[in-house]
Structure 1
Amino acid sequence: MTIQKISSFAAGQWVQPGQSARIIKSAITGEVIAKAGNDALDVQSMLDYGRDVGGPALRAMTFHDRARMLKAVAMQIGKHKQALYDISFDTGATQSDHLIDIDGGIGTMFVFASKGRREMPDGHVYLDGEIEQLSRNGTFLGQHICTPLQGVAVHINAFNFPVWGMLEKLAPTLLAGVPAIVKPATSSCYVTEACVRIMLDSGLLPAGSVQLISGGTGDLLDRLGMQDIVSFTGSAHTALSLRSAPNILQNSIRFVAEQDSLNASILGADATPGTPEFDLFVKEVSREMTAKAGQKCTAIRRIIAPEVQVEALIKALSARLDQTTIGDPRAEGVRMGALVSESQKRDVLEKAAIIGQQAERVYGDPDNFTLQGEGAEKGAFVPPMLFHCANPDTSDLVHCTEAFGPVSTIMGYRDLDHAIQLANRGEGSLVASVITRDGNIARNLVMGVGAYHGRIYFNNRDSMKESTGHGSPLPHMVHGGPGRAGGGEEMGGVRGVMHYMQRTAIQGSPDILSAISGTWNPGAQEIEGTEHPFTRNFGDLAIGETIHTASREISLDDIEHFAEFTGDTFYAHMDEEAAAANPFFPGRVAHGYLLLSFAAGLFVEPNPGPVLANTGLDGLRFMKPVQAGDSIKVRLTVKKKTGRNEEYGEVRWHVSLTNQEDELVAEYELLTMNAY
């Protein structure tokens, strides 16, 4: 058998393993399949290359440029995912496990690409929140902005998801404009290396934006500076060692950790045997115990159920686990593969023995189980193991010991408060799931366990057909948790991107803030041209381009006609005495939507042109009532432009309505799609 040489990619060059390289064995057969690691790797050159080459290239791109890059890279990986499937079997993963890891990683990149285009500007500065007026007349403003860190992100990933684990960190990092050095776990780094080669060979990534360390990091962390960031996934012990390094502490280097987690799943008291919820609970727990052979940071480690249902639940779970065929994941019909390595198998069995000191094993014997596949007896296989803890209040070990494999412990609760206490004894988890159809149970559990969990997943008969499952972190939502889980947050859409950016408060005049942000602010300079802006293509419109309309008087006939035509005969528009009794109105007033309609009539250019559609309005506010005899006029200003595709882009217009005294009566932002 040919032994693969798993290389690193450093400072633009592939570097083969050195003499001190570690051997990597197949999880299925125990045979040596690869070696990786090079103690002579020049990590300082890697940092310099990322900072001096990768960083400037990424920061020169807009958020939309980087989003388009992510989409293209994801598509490229998708074209080659079969090759990744094929080599991933040696990690012990089944084909369904590959879909979680490889397809899940690709999907994560697509989500960040989409969010980058839809939720971030086609520019270099991200606005965090609204403008703050810091002076009486609005000549001095404040704004929070975010810009990319000018260092390198070091991603230290776990063995269980060699593709998803890399891509879920890489997508927000690159979208932020920060280069990355990826360090996968050595036991499955051959899969990560293959994926990195696909990305680099595509030519879609700027030089220096992604580098790879296959093997040890040497003194890399000692060379980091205050603009660098470390994102770690792994054990709490390793996380503590890394984050407490003197250089990390001295330079206040950002350290994001996702670590050990004693996740729980709670069966609601309403989910009794025979209900869809009870059956769903059994299915979810079984799946989370066996997917990736239980090697998931989100797997269910503690099963918390009403005491009266424990016996029935053990019986139902055992019956379902009986259907789990274990063996060579390449063999037809196998539903659970191996642990990633022999050392991981030893660790799982040791931790299971610790749990066994305070809980009874009621399913699964690691010394007596059936395997499928020739040569599998030499692999790192264990069966699913279910424990029952009869005294969870006094059994500390089941709340602090994570066997990172197909191992879970069931325990009973007396009432909802007791269930909350048991769930929180995990001292911080990535996820808790609750199977219930009772809204009061759901709310009380959120109030009780929310502070201890990064995510709470609810499911029942109403959502089960479309739900993604307890153990599926989604790129739209934060992935992380407090306490034992590491205290970090990853993904979460744009929130994940913010980990790799610096939030800065800027203060200054409206013109200065507009120049920095690329967004027009009230009080900033207006550009008045000879052409109506609705006649100008998207690419020709300038931020701050403005028209001031003529005025229009509002008559009582207008108000009454609008009321009759629309059916809106609210008393404030039709009854003088009742309107005058209202503390907000001086008497009968014009409808707010009448004002909007008349405003459109004042500023719209009616002929066919670049404006393709009005897609909505945001932030509508009515400041001062308008009575019959008052006049309104409109100021329409290009506030912001966001490209959507090659044919059209979104224009955000600031619209303000003033009366005959130049008093502001209404304000909003109009959205249109304009052709290029």
Structure 2
Amino acid sequence: MRVLENFVGGAWSRASGATHLEVKNPATGESLAEVPLSTAADVDAAVKAAQAAFPGWSATPPVQRARYLFKLREIFDAHRDEIAAICTAEHGKTLAEARNDFGRGIENVEHAAGIPALLMGQGLEDVASRIDCHTIRQPLGVFAAITPFNFPPMVPLWFLPYAIATGNTFVLKPSEQVPLSQQRIFELIEQVGLPPGVVNLVHGGRDVVNAFCAHRDIAGVSFVGSSAVARHVYRSAAEAGKRVQALGGAKNFLVVMPDAERRMTVANVAESIYGCSGQRCLAGSVVVCVGDTYEAVRDGLVRHAKGIVLGDGSKPGVTMGPVISAAHRDRVLSYINQGVAEGATLLLDGRDARVDGYPDGNWVGPTVFDDVRPGMVIATEEIFGPVACLMRANDLDEAIAIANRSEYGNAASIYTSSGRAAREFQHRVGAGMVGVNIGVAAPMAFFPFGGQKGSFFGDLKAHGPTAIDFYTERKIVITRWF
């Protein structure tokens, strides 16, 4: 069995930890590799390599740093299908979803390649008589990122390109459940010829996370995952004096108004809920039908869900893959059981899903709950699976109130033909990312990504202009010449 290695100081090396975890294909149960659980000593070695590389890398002109990213973008583009296939094997999502996953990551490399313009400061002549003032941005040192299982190629690229483009050095811990795509991506990064230590990869679990948060030579930490862990990372890293951006969980509400275009709305709602098997932080979860839309949306959603083809995401015609692991499958199934116990009506039951020829797959079929009420566990907690909850509202005010009761605030969407309703919704709903007739409100790389309330801990969100703020310190220079 292949044992994955860390990438430290420009070279591959075995982790010092003796414990390994098995990486499995969630559709077939096939063992793909073993990932080591690195130790604090492994983290320290990576940080020292990054720290040693920082003086020379930070002194490299931004235009030269950008050229590495231009080259990286071309290498990534040439390997899109390869990375997508690896992603599907380790995660289970369909090949189309995996291509989009990596494609969104590449867009961040493209955006970060514009760093000479993005790093520019501001200036004003004669702030007082014969005194000028200007600002410059400077890198801080070593940054670390901890990324989740649900978008293996993409999410690390929310951070790595911006960190190194701004002149910092970087250490990544990918999810131990899906380390293979990042292993291959770092092999491709090797081809770019970055100075040793500029980028580093450390495999592992909880011990690596805690080592990142505590290490005195790490300037900042980025995290994406559950809200419970996001809160822990935020508190522990902030107590150690670090910058932190910690993106947490979600419970996303999709509000359907009576004037929504029905056919396109139902199809888009279904894709939001069931795409990537519901394992994305922007997935729709609760569909709030306003007025007389309920029956039409309910029947249309059930019809779309029944048409989903469950199976191995690498096979043609499959439109939904497995969930990531047997443990996660059991977690999703426990929520479905909870919904039944709470009195919600199960219109479509995915608990007994099977796929011929794949007895070891982590299957959960598309599920639809009717008669869901505020306060139910399935209406309040993040399920992170292919489960739709249908609720009623008399008007837009009630629908917004239902969404705003949630402890989460990652994303929310409205389907309507009314500009007034859309404007009211985007102004009042308590979510960081808002969709209007779009069920997955995913910003492009040149806009910020992040939620509100219990979905985000920190001040500066991922990618876009806020990434430049996160990875740099503004210095103000006030000048007078005699």
Tell me which interval the TM-score lies in, with the shorter structure as reference length.
over 0.9
CA distance in structure 2 between the partners assigned to 1:208 and 1:407 by the alignment = 43
State the match for 1:354 in structure 2: 338
In structure 2, what residue type is equivalent to 1:34? Answer: A
Could you say what the CA RMSD is over the residues aligned between the two structures, in angstroms?
2.3
2:200 maps to 1:211: yes
Residue 132 of structure 1: how far off its partner (Å) = 7.6
The unaligned stretches of length 5 or more in structure 2 are none
In structure 2, what residue type is equivalent to 1:341? Answer: S
2:393 maps to 1:413: yes
State the match for 2:51 in structure 1: 51
2:11 maps to 1:10: no
2:465 maps to 1:485: no
2:425 maps to 1:441: no
Residue 507 of structure 1: how far off its partner (Å) = 2.1
State the match for 1:383 in structure 2: 365
The 5-angstrom pairing of residues 234-249 of structure 1 reads 234-245=225-236, 248-249=237-238
SS of the residue 1:472 aligns to: coil
Q: 1:290 to 1:508 in 2, by over 3 A?
A: same
Q: What is the aligned counterpart of 2:171 among 157, 181, 195? A: 181
2:443 maps to 1:473: yes
Q: 1:318 to 1:132 in 2, by over 3 A?
A: farther
In structure 1, what residue type is equivalent to 2:272? Answer: E
Does the aligned pair in 2 maintain the 1:94–1:292 contact within 8 Å?
A: yes
Does the aligned pair in 2 maintain the 1:430–1:482 contact within 8 Å?
A: yes
CA distance in structure 1 between the partners assigned to 2:320 and 2:344 by the alignment = 23
Q: 1:350 to 1:390 in 2, by over 3 A?
A: closer
The 5-angstrom pairing of residues 257-268 of structure 1 reads 257-268=246-257
2:124 maps to 1:131: yes
Q: What is the aligned counterpart of 1:424 among 404, 416, 425? A: 404
State the match for 2:296 in structure 1: 312
Q: What is the aligned counterpart of 2:156 among 163, 166, 173? A: 166
SS of the residue 1:381 aligns to: coil
Does the aligned pair in 1 maintain the 2:448–2:461 contact within 8 Å?
A: yes
Does the aligned pair in 2 maintain the 1:63–1:116 contact within 8 Å?
A: yes
SS of the residue 1:345 aligns to: helix
Does the aligned pair in 1 maintain the 2:234–2:457 contact within 8 Å?
A: no
Q: 1:223 to 1:445 in 2, by over 3 A?
A: closer
Does the aligned pair in 2 maintain the 1:388–1:409 contact within 8 Å?
A: yes
**1:404-425 per-position Cα deviation (integer Å, ceiling 9, x unaligned):** 1112212111111111111112
In structure 2, what residue type is equivalent to 1:494? Answer: P
Residue 254 of structure 1: how far off its partner (Å) = 0.9
Residue 359 of structure 1: how far off its partner (Å) = 5.6
Residue 4 of structure 1: how far off its partner (Å) = 2.4
SS of the residue 1:368 aligns to: coil
SS of the residue 2:136 aligns to: strand
Q: 1:359 to 1:401 in 2, by over 3 A?
A: farther
SS of the residue 1:4 aligns to: coil
State the match for 2:211 in structure 1: 220
SS of the residue 1:9 aligns to: strand
SS of the residue 2:434 aligns to: strand
2:360 maps to 1:367: no
State the match for 1:63 in structure 2: 62
Q: 1:492 to 1:212 in 2, by over 3 A?
A: closer
Does the aligned pair in 1 maintain the 2:72–2:192 contact within 8 Å?
A: no
Q: What is the aligned counterpart of 2:222 among 214, 217, 231? A: 231
Query: Mean Cα displacement is larger for which, 191-200 or 419-428?
Result: 419-428
SS of the residue 1:503 aligns to: strand
Does the aligned pair in 1 maintain the 2:289–2:390 contact within 8 Å?
A: yes
CA distance in structure 2 between the partners assigned to 1:353 and 1:307 by the alignment = 29
Residue 283 of structure 1: how far off its partner (Å) = 1.4
CA distance in structure 2 between the partners assigned to 1:308 and 1:95 by the alignment = 38
CA distance in structure 2 between the partners assigned to 1:363 and 1:96 by the alignment = 28
**1:641-668 per-position Cα deviation (integer Å, ceiling 9, x unaligned):** xxxxxxxxxxxxxxxxxxxxxxxxxxxx
State the match for 1:21 in structure 2: 20
2:455 maps to 1:455: no
Aligned residue pairs, count: 476
- TM-score normalised by length of structure 2: 0.92
Does the aligned pair in 1 maintain the 2:257–2:291 contact within 8 Å?
A: no
CA distance in structure 1 between the partners assigned to 2:468 and 2:103 by the alignment = 21
In structure 2, what residue type is equivalent to 1:431? Answer: A
SS of the residue 2:443 aligns to: coil
SS of the residue 1:314 aligns to: helix
In structure 2, what residue type is equivalent to 1:334? Answer: V
The 5-angstrom pairing of residues 192-203 of structure 1 reads 192-200=182-190, 202-203=191-192
The 5-angstrom pairing of residues 597-676 of structure 1 reads none
CA distance in structure 2 between the partners assigned to 1:163 and 1:359 by the alignment = 39
Does the aligned pair in 2 maintain the 1:480–1:487 contact within 8 Å?
A: no
The 5-angstrom pairing of residues 552-567 of structure 1 reads none
SS of the residue 1:244 aligns to: helix
Residue 189 of structure 1: how far off its partner (Å) = 0.6
Which structure has the larger Rg?
A: 1
Does the aligned pair in 2 maintain the 1:175–1:497 contact within 8 Å?
A: no
